[in-house]
């Protein structure tokens, strides 16, 4: 196996499609055994970046190494030594769970003498015991996901890429899936996962926030939350949409957004509470509850995206009459 310091290293990696820049000069690294989450909205550049790192797509400029191999010079080495899984992972519906795993073990050239034990271990790890002879088409979405993961790691890859792999799966099944990922990381497997689920990003050692092709922040989930400026208030009221609009224009409110039935308002200072309550009351909005809370990763993400978009808008409109 190739010797390498970090599982992934990129330097200015960029991908353009004509005049559109999908990935814009991205720099980051993933340590061995680390779970790195790439968090961003649809169209942010997550999948394009992952495809370049999987050596499926060549960058327009910049460079990257995956497990010590250069994506320009050694694409086949990279492809042979990674696991890749997406929400559209190709399972063969007419094959049983065991036959699917055996097929991928053959594709990945797992030695015949080791294949039986490897398949048995994968069935056990994925919790597929008792489902070995069930055709893939008869498995539920959550069990198909487990099977797809088993197939993706049939060759025991040291690096695993997950591209929106849990999209459309219920929260309990997603949690169980991530328990499997933790087991693999404990065995030294490095993981890069793209997602737009905030709870999944909480499972990662580090999270990179990506927007419009730019990596705008990288840190652990706790560090990102601790770095949110201001004091976050959760407000329950009878008209959250109007309340959000009022708070968005209220001096001293850094940001306001709707979270379910609540409005989250980021205040410059806690002593603004009374003024905020008065403003809402004057607008005829009845506040049922107002409390300061610890920010979630979703709060951080929304705040970061809003800041970035306001900054982009200022740059774009600068000098426009």
For residue 1, the model assigns a pLDDT of: 55
Q: Which residues span the domain enclosing 259? A: 229-294
2 closest CA partner among 97, 98, 77, 102: 77
Last residue of a domain, one of 205, 221, 237: 221
Using CA atoms, how far residue 52 sits from 86, 218, 234, in Å, is 15, 19, 40
The residue count of the chain comes to 321
- Beta-carbon-side half-sphere exposure of residue 209 (alpha carbons within 13 Å): 23
Q: Is the dihedral of CA 154, 158, 164, 165 positive or negative?
A: positive
Considering the domain architecture, whether residues 69 and 167 belong to the same structural domain is answered as yes
Considering the domain architecture, whether residues 81 and 54 belong to the same structural domain is answered as yes
Cβ atoms of residues 248 and 276 within 8 Å: no
141: CATH: 3.40.50.300
Three-state DSSP at 304 gives: helix
Q: Tell whether 100 is covered by a domain.
A: yes
Question: pLDDT tens digits for 91-143?
Answer: 999 999 999 999 999 999 999 999 999 999 999 989 999 999 999 999 998 89
Cβ atoms of residues 179 and 135 within 8 Å: no
What's the rounded Cα separation, in Å, for the pair 239 and 229? 26
Considering the domain architecture, whether residues 240 and 114 belong to the same structural domain is answered as no
Considering the domain architecture, whether residues 160 and 251 belong to the same structural domain is answered as no
Q: Tell whether 164 is covered by a domain.
A: yes
Considering the domain architecture, whether residues 194 and 262 belong to the same structural domain is answered as no
Cβ atoms of residues 22 and 45 within 8 Å: yes
* Paired tokens of 160: 């695993």
238: CATH: 3.30.70.100
Q: Tell whether 238 is covered by a domain.
A: yes
Task: Give Cα 91 distance to the centre of its chain.
Answer: 23
Considering the domain architecture, whether residues 63 and 119 belong to the same structural domain is answered as yes
Q: Tell whether 302 is covered by a domain.
A: no
Considering the domain architecture, whether residues 286 and 181 belong to the same structural domain is answered as no
What's the rounded Cα separation, in Å, for the pair 156 and 206? 23
pLDDT in tens, the chain (321 residues): 577 889 999 999 999 999 999 999 999 999 999 999 999 888 899 999 999 999 999 999 999 999 999 999 999 999 999 999 998 889 999 999 999 999 999 999 999 999 999 999 999 989 999 999 999 999 998 899 999 999 999 999 999 999 999 887 888 888 889 999 999 999 999 999 998 888 888 899 999 999 999 999 999 999 999 989 899 999 999 999 999 999 999 999 999 999 989 999 999 999 999 999 999 999 999 999 999 999 999 889 888 887 777 776 544 444 433
Considering the domain architecture, whether residues 234 and 215 belong to the same structural domain is answered as no
Considering the domain architecture, whether residues 73 and 201 belong to the same structural domain is answered as yes
Considering the domain architecture, whether residues 233 and 211 belong to the same structural domain is answered as no
Considering the domain architecture, whether residues 70 and 200 belong to the same structural domain is answered as yes
Helix, strand, coil in percent for the chain, rounding step 5? 40, 30, 35
Q: For 56, which DSSP code? A: S
Q: For 135, which DSSP code? A: B
Considering the domain architecture, whether residues 215 and 281 belong to the same structural domain is answered as no
Instruction: State how many domains the chain has.
Output: 2
Question: What is the layout of strands, in order, in the sheet containing 231-237?
Answer: 253-259, 262-267, 231-237, 287-292
Q: Tell whether 159 is covered by a domain.
A: yes
């Amino acid at each position: 196996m190739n010797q390498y310091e970090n599982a992934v290293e990129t330097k200015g990696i960029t991908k353009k499609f004509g005049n559109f820049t999908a990935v814009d000069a991205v720099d980051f690294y993933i340590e061995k055994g680390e779970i790195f989450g790439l968090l961003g909205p649809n169209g942010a550049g997550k999948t394009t970046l992952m495809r370049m790192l999987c050596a499926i797509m060549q960058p327009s400029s910049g460079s990257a190494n995956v497990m010590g191999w250069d994506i320009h010079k050694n694409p086949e080495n990279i492809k042979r030594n990674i696991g890749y899984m997406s929400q559209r992972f190709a399972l063969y519906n007419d094959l049983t769970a065991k036959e699917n795993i055996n097929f991928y073990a053959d594709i990945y050239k797992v030695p015949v003498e080791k294949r039986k034990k490897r398949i048995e271990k994968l069935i056990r790890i994925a919790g597929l015991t008792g489902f070995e002879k069930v055709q893939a088409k008869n498995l539920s979405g959550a069990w198909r996901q487990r099977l797809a993961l088993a197939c993706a790691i049939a060759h025991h890859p040291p690096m695993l890429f997950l591209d929106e792999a849990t999209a459309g799966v219920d929260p309990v099944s997603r949690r169980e899936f991530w328990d499997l990922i933790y087991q693999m990381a404990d065995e030294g497997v490095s993981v890069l996962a793209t997602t737009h689920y905030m709870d999944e990003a909480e499972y990662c050692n580090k999270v990179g926030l990506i927007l419009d092709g730019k990596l705008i922040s990288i840190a652990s989930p706790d560090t990102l939350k601790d770095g949110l400026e201001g004091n976050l208030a959760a407000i329950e009221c009878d008209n959250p949409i109007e309340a959000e609009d009022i708070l968005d224009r209220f001096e001293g409110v850094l940001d306001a957004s709707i979270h379910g039935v609540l409005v989250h308002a980021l205040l410059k200072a806690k002593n603004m509470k009374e003024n905020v309550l008065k403003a809402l009351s004057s607008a005829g909005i009845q506040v049922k509850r107002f409390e300061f809370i610890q920010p979630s990763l979703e709060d951080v993400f929304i705040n970061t995206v809003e800041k970035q978009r306001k900054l982009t808008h200022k740059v774009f409109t600068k000098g426009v009459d």
